Each structure stands twice: as structure tokens, then as C-alpha cells.
Amino acid sequence: MAAPASDPTLSAQAQMAVSQTRRLPSLAKGTDLAATRKAAQDFEAVFLSQMFGQMFQGVATDTMFGGGAAEEMFRPLLIDEYGKQLAKRGGVGIADAVMRSLITQQEKTA
């Protein structure tokens, strides 16, 4: 049984997680909540990486210490990591919407 969202012993982050879980549709049998959350978070990370990629296209490289083949090779990796880290730390809310949608679809097929 989950603790109430207003429990003073819970951290603010834990209280938010409890309240978000209560807003999710009921889970169908066999639904793995952790796998669903991971899929939604991965989707948000890819979206954010694409957005950052567009944003970094306009950024010029430093000619003194930057540029070249190494930067061309590693910049996409850095941008992907930016997207993953932002999604991991809460993102912009896309993962929550995707998770609700995935659970709803799983309920319909169950």
C-alpha cells in the first residue's frame, strides 16, 4: 500500500511520484510498470536529442581548440547524452504522457 501523497515523512520527489502513480490508469495483468516507464523515458530522450541536434546546428565551433573530425564524431554522442540526462531528470513531460498512453493501449489489448 502506497503512503499518502501528503505524508510529511516523504521527500518532495517521493510525494510527487506517489501522486503521479495515482493518476495513471489501472494496470492490466502482466504489465511491467518499470519497463513501460523506461520505454516512455527512452522515447522522450530520443525526442530531446533530436531537438538538441537542431539547436546545435547553428552553433559554430571554436577554431582554436575545436572543430575537425573528432568534434564531428563526438558531438552527436554528446547531444544524445544531453537528451538522456534531461529525460532521466524529469524531462519536459513527454514521458508521462507517453506512459499514460502506453498503459491505456495495454489495457485495451488485454
| pLDDT level of residue 61 (50, 70, 90 thresholds) | confident
Give residue 2's pLDDT. Answer: 44
Please give the share of the chain, as a percent, with pLDDT higher than 70.
Answer: 72
pTM beyond 0.85: the answer is: no
Cβ 16 vs Cβ 97: under 8 Å: no
**32-53 pLDDT, tens per residue?**
788 888 999 999 999 999 999 9
Give residue 83's pLDDT. Answer: 95
Largest pairwise CA distance in the chain = 59
Tell me the H-state helices in the chain.
12-23, 33-56, 68-88, 94-109
Residue 93, pLDDT > 80, answer yes
